[in-house]
Structures are given as C-alpha cells and as structure tokens.
Structure 1
C-alpha cells in the first residue's frame, strides 16, 4: 500500500452512476469550464480531457476545456482562484503545476490551501529514475556511489525549475549526500533529447514519455520512485526495494475549484469524478498515460492529501534552497 492509498482508501465506486449524480438538482444548467495549466497535447491535456468527457456525461452538461499554460502552471491556477465561486470553473491540479510551483515561486496571488476547494484526486503516475546508458550505474546504490565521487558533479535534467523532475533530482542529491547539477529545460521533450545524447546524465519523469526510450535502450531505468513496481515496467525495481524508502515521487492529478463553492455542488462534482474513474474506458485511457487511479473517498480526503504532500516537499525545497527566478 503506497502513501496515497494510506491517506485515501479507494471508495466503493460501483454505486456512483449517472442517475445518482443527476439527482443533485438543477446544477449544472450550463457548460462547465475546465482549465488545464499546460498547452494542448501533453499528458496533462490528455488526462484532463478524459476527465472532462466523463464528468460531462454524468452531469448531463458539456465541459469546455481551456488550455492556459505559462509560468509553470501559475497562470491557470490564478485564473481559477479568481473565478466566480459557483462551480462552473474548475482546475486540473498537478503535483508540479499546482503544489510544487507554490513552494518555489517567490510571489503568488493565491494560496493553494486557502483559495481553492478540492473536489477529488484522480491518480498518480510514479516517476522513473533513468540515466544515459553510458553512466556506469545499474541501480540506486551504484548511482549514489558514482554521484559521491563524480568530478565534475553528475547532472540531472528536468522540464523546468520547480517541476516534479526538479525536486526529485534535488531529493536524490540530498539522499545521496552528493552534489548534483540541475539542468532545467523548457519541457520534457528537450530534456529527454539531451539525456539521450549524453549531454546530461540523469532524468526523472513520469513513465509514459520515457517508456519508448527505455524499451529501445536509449535510456536505462534504474528505479521507480514508488513503493511498488509499475505494471508496464515490471522489471524495474522500486526505490524502496533498493533501500531508499524516502525517494518517493509521482506526477499526480486532481480536480479543484475556487474556495467558497457551495458544498452540494462540490459533492456533485466529486461524485461525477469518481463515477468517471470507475468507468472501464476511462481507466484504460488513463492507464495509457501511466496514471494509477486513486479516487478519493471525499473532497476532504483530497484536501488532507494536498496538505501532507505540501509538507513533505516543503522540506526538500527548503533543504535544497530551490527558488524560481
């Protein structure tokens, strides 16, 4: 059982069907806007559209997806925090774009606890620690030893400052007791390109974009940063198996709205979300993006998860002195 499951045991979803959701009354009586704080085409966009389609079908109202990328997710978050508190504007929140960005950005117009109403958790995509095949390490212990003696320091790529990949790389350096150089990029694609070329040694990321390069041998997967192995990478051991129980990281997703939404509307949205996550077709589409579904029993459970995860990553950000410029 991983730490998210311990916080949020999966509910019995079988009874959450469209009629139960539609019984909530007249809400919604017009389209609902879902803001995705990334450009179209990536994993966040795909996950958000799967959820929007499913929730719309269950609520009997269309969802309009709005991609609002920029500033590491801050622009999209800000738009939702400042929107009317009526349940018609929602956010696809994520570990990097929502939570970690709030820890590393020096000035924000919102507080992720005070200014948002959690609706529900979707799931998480555990991150995989990979290296260029020329790196002489085939496990976490060997990578630690190599990092400690490397001169110049080993380098790790990330999709940008304050992303999940950035803070996981910083966590590795802290746990290894070694200096490592962070090389930020503008997105996952350029980071992968330079690690494949050997210009950077290490890359941590959700499994989906790394999987074809692991299969081809362009990247060597050393560990899954999770308590259990991934179903589609069963041969890759976990960090826990290799003696690094604190090295846990995933790219997670959830739905939030602005604080102050009516409780009955939050409940209707939560029920529609969980019914979507129980749908076989939605499960399959999310699994293709490497997402392990972990529906929250209630919005309050998702709120507690956010607070716990923020506390954990705040320690890493503080110890590593990570700040977005």
Structure 2
C-alpha cells in the first residue's frame, strides 16, 4: 500500500481556532504591536547543524529583516523533538515563542507513542507550512558504493553490518530504512541518533555504514561528496537533486512518502497573533532569496494557511500510521 499522501482526502477540521478571522484583519496593527518590542524565539527540537536548525536560522535571518525585531533560534534537542514541544506548551501565548518542526516530530510522536506528552490537535497551533520534504537513504563514503544494487550485494557479503543510523527512532526515517531493508531481503537494525548532525559525523567518519533521514539533512553533504544518497522517498526526482533516484524508479513504489516542515504556536495563541504570524511567515518564506536557500537545503517550498496546514497534518497522521504498521512497530 503506497505511503504517498492522499492529496484529495479532506477530513473534518476541529479546534483550529480560526473563528473571528475578520477580527484578525481589523486588528492586524494591534497584532503587530503585540509582537513588537520583544524578541521572537523559535524553538527547534534538534541540535545545531542539522537540516531543521539550518532552515530555521535562514528563516529567522529573513524574518528579522522583515519585522525589524530580534529573532532567536533556540535549540531544545532530545527525545525526538519532544523537549521542544514541551517548551512550546509552556510558552507565553503572546506570540513571542513559536516552534519550527518537521512532521517527523509532531506527527511521528503522535502516532508512535501511547503517551507523547501532548495532544496534537490541542497543544500545537498550526501556523503555516514552509514546504514538503522527503526521506533519503544515504551511505558512508568509506564503504565505496554508489547505488542501491551495490549496497544490497554488499549487505549479503557483510551481514554483520546490516544496520543503519536514523535521525530519530520511531520516525518516518526509522520506518523507511526498516522497510527498505525488508524490500532488499536483508533486515536492517536501526541505530538511533539525536538528530542529523551526529549521524552525519559518524557517516562521514565511517563509524556507521548507512543512514536514513530527511533530504534536507543530507543534500548539501551529498552534493559535496561527503555522503552518498542512493534513494529518495519523493514521488518524483527533486528538481534540485536530479541525480537521486526515487524508490519508485528503484522498484519499491510502496515506500513513497512525503513529510512537511512548518511553524506552530503555543496553545492559547490568539486569533490575531495566528493571523499575524501566518501572514508574516508566508511572505517571508516566499521571498526569492530565502526560497532559493531553502530549495538548496532540499526543501520543496510550499507555504499554506493554517487550515491547509491542519488538513495536510491530518492526512499524514493516517498515512504515517500505515507506514508504522507495515514496519511492524508498536506504539510505546
């Protein structure tokens, strides 16, 4: 069963906090005044140097130019992003704290944990998407392989090295790697890392032979020849990385999967603040220079309204749950 997002699925929307949109428009200046004069804090659930952190800093720099106030990125790494979510839950509701996150955190924790410590529809207020991202399978340059066929043959010769590093256990990167191993006929054991940065370090040094993470985490290192991406879960080859084959091309269309990146606000965020940050972040992300930087990291830039964000999130919860079941993973 394909893991591609059903783009036609439309589920009932609940708890969007979008009532009074006309009030938001009338009070736009009040919204801006509420935000002005203090720093904006952007929480990131992974260490510095990974794809999420790099993109957050690009966006922060451009947003700082636009709104004329300090914008700070604060790394709250650990627990697959749950630490950052907990910090957002406890943040002030005045619009001074937002979180930049991937579905590999918000959706994955919701689906894979019996008690994730938050309720997705209640505790995280979707503000807007910045884009879609795919999962990739990547090899260490130390093993000297260039494609999936060679890797499959190498695994048969080196069964003791049938493992892969994942940027987060219980995430799409974990399940994608496990399902790819099954498809190749050699089960792969996942090795959990606290984000992409430490995994990249071990891949480049040859301490782990293969890894799985977001395209945004590995693209620049792939282009620099520091690691080798051999498969991407996207529906089609990324225009900014045409040399990377899709899982469909490689004969495994059921592994197709696309996640997202976006901004969330804390529970209790006012409709005026929601409207303000949705507008400012959308305009900022769509600026030509920032858009190019995000493309270069591997993000398929696509912005959205809060309601469109909720729709995509709800659809992904369903497809991610199916991916988890196929991987044989049970909620902890």
TM tier, smaller:
0.7 to 0.9
Partner of 1:184: 192
Question: Quick check: 1:73 aligned with 2:77?
Answer: no
Once the two structures are superposed, what CA deviation does each residue of 1:213-241 show, in whole Å capped at 9, x if it has no partner?
A: 54565644322210121233212221122
Matched, 1:24 2:28: yes
User: Structure 1 residue 34 and structure 2 residue 42: aligned?
Assistant: yes
Equivalences for residues 54-65 of structure 1 within 5 A: 54-59=62-67, 61-65=69-73
The residue that corresponds to 1:239 in the other structure is 247
User: Is the aligned partner of 1:138 residue 2:147?
Assistant: yes
Distance 1:213 1:182, change over 3 A: same
Aligned mate of 1:248, from 256, 263, 270: 256
Q: Corresponding residue for 1:262?
A: 270
Relative to 1, partners in 2 of residues 1:290 and 1:213: Cα closer, same or farther, differing over 3 Å? closer
Does the aligned pair in 2 maintain the 1:22–1:60 contact within 8 Å?
no
Q: Distance in 2 between matches of 1:53 and 1:165?
A: 28
Could you state the TM-score of these two structures normalised by the residue count of structure 1?
Answer: 0.79
TM-score when normalising by structure 2: 0.77
Cross-structure match for 1:280: 288
Contact 2:179 2:255 in 1 (8 A): yes
Q: Specify whether residues 214 and 269 from structure 1 end up closer, same or farther in structure 2 by C-alpha distance, changes over 3 A only.
A: closer
Correspondence for 1:314: 321
2:107 is the alignment partner of 1:103? no
CA deviation map 1:276-324 (0-9, x unaligned)? 122112112222322220111x211101111111222222234434469
> Residues 148 and 176 of structure 1 are in contact (CA less than 8 Å); yes or no, is this contact kept in structure 2?
no
RMSD of Structure 2 on Structure 1 (CA): 3.6
Give runs of aligned pairs for residues 198-213 of structure 1, distance below 5 A. Answer: 200-207=208-215, 209-211=217-219
Structure 2: tracts of 5 or more residues without a match: 10-23
2:135 corresponds to which residue? 127
Match of 1:301 among 299, 304, 308: 308
| Structure 2 SS opposite 1:240 | coil
What is the CA–CA distance in structure 2 between the aligned matches of 1:74 and 1:180, rounded to whole Å?
26
Measure how far apart 1:253 and its partner are: 1.4
Conserved 8 A contact 2:161-2:209: no
Label 1:80 to 1:193 Cα distance change in 2 as closer, same or farther (>3 A).
closer
Contact 2:51 2:196 in 1 (8 A): no
CA displacement at 1:91 relative to structure 2:
1.1
Give CA deviations for 1:86-144 in whole Å, capped at 9, x if unaligned: 433211121223221333345333111222211100013323222356487834x6766
CA shift in 2, pair 1:262/1:219, >3 Å = closer
